[in-house]
Structure 1
């Protein structure tokens, strides 16, 4: 199933998260060097085939949205077993999701599946050998992650072809943005 997602990349946890993807589903591991498996979702699913006008609207939102600092330290799990880290503060991520949803009302977060959208970075899935304690232990020396949300990226997910379609610096001036790539 092909889909697109708007994300804020978190390169500091890329090695760990990419390793989990390689373990669970190697066909979905990206060969695109710009792709970051470790991310906090801003809006998913997004439009299947965004047009130029959609990309321009995203660029305008990114330009107007200031970059911000956050920390990932607490490892927890959702009732469905998704092990994740919660950004602190979570507010800027929640506000970015709300702003994107207002601009693209046809794209409710997580297809409207959850009443409350909790900003998070997915780390693993609970199972016989995986617990929040084991993931926390695996991440010893990496957590806490002190990071800066600096980019909004449009990722395409397709088996054997996960890649970045477009990328925008948060808070960038119009004349400073030269990194938007057209979707292929």
Structure 2
């Protein structure tokens, strides 16, 4: 969840992610050593929007609006078959990327004051970061090691709000994708049959 160039996080920063627990067996040991967000408590994930609003701005109205935006998107499956590179970054490529990009675009459209990565990049490139700030030789070693753990798939059904408390990142809320099932009270009731 770092901005791919910085390993410093501030108290009150927030981000929106989708967890990818299926990635942990393949990437945990590398992420713990070479990804600052992992050392700060963020599990294997694909970032949806970072940075999001400062924690002090996240009130019940923001929660409700975020819930509304996220539930307009249906759950989806991702497949991770290969690695990709950004400058000094090695990541797993989530495919298809389109559902992640649509989520990012929808949330950023609702909160234009929180563009992806602070507006530093023109293109949204969904990715699961494994290592940052490393030379090519190290990234090549990691990539070769990961070949045995690929491919794998993950089902995405929620977006999580993560908050940095000054020391670590903690999950603060989870927002389900897709329309919630109607509540029992909202379902039409069967009318009692007329007795013969």
Query: Which bracket does the TM-score occupy, shorter chain normalised?
Result: 0.7 to 0.9
Gaps of 5+ in 2: 1-9, 184-196
1:33 corresponding residue in structure 2: none
* Distance of aligned partners of 1:175 and 1:86 in 2 relative to their CA distance in 1, 3 Å threshold: same
Matches within 5 A, 1:33-112: 36-49=42-55, 50-78=58-86, 80-112=87-119
Matched residue pairs, number? 169
Contact 1:76 1:84 in 2 (8 A): yes
Calculate the TM-score normalised by the size of structure 1: 0.82
2:189 corresponding residue in structure 1: none
Calculate the TM-score normalised by the size of structure 2: 0.77
* Distance of aligned partners of 1:100 and 1:21 in 2 relative to their CA distance in 1, 3 Å threshold: same
Contact 1:75 1:136 in 2 (8 A): yes
* Distance of aligned partners of 1:146 and 1:91 in 2 relative to their CA distance in 1, 3 Å threshold: same
Q: Deviations over 1:43-90 (max 9, x none)?
A: 110011211111111111222210011111111211x21111111111
The answer to whether 1:23 aligns with 2:33 is yes
1:8 corresponding residue in structure 2: 18
CA RMSD after TM alignment: 2.2
Instruction: Report the structure number with the largest CA radius of gyration.
Output: 2
Contact 1:27 1:160 in 2 (8 A): no
Give the match's secondary structure for 2:17.
strand
- Once the two structures are TM-superposed, the CA of residue 17 in structure 1 deviates from its matched residue by 4.3
- Once the two structures are TM-superposed, the CA of residue 141 in structure 1 deviates from its matched residue by 3.0
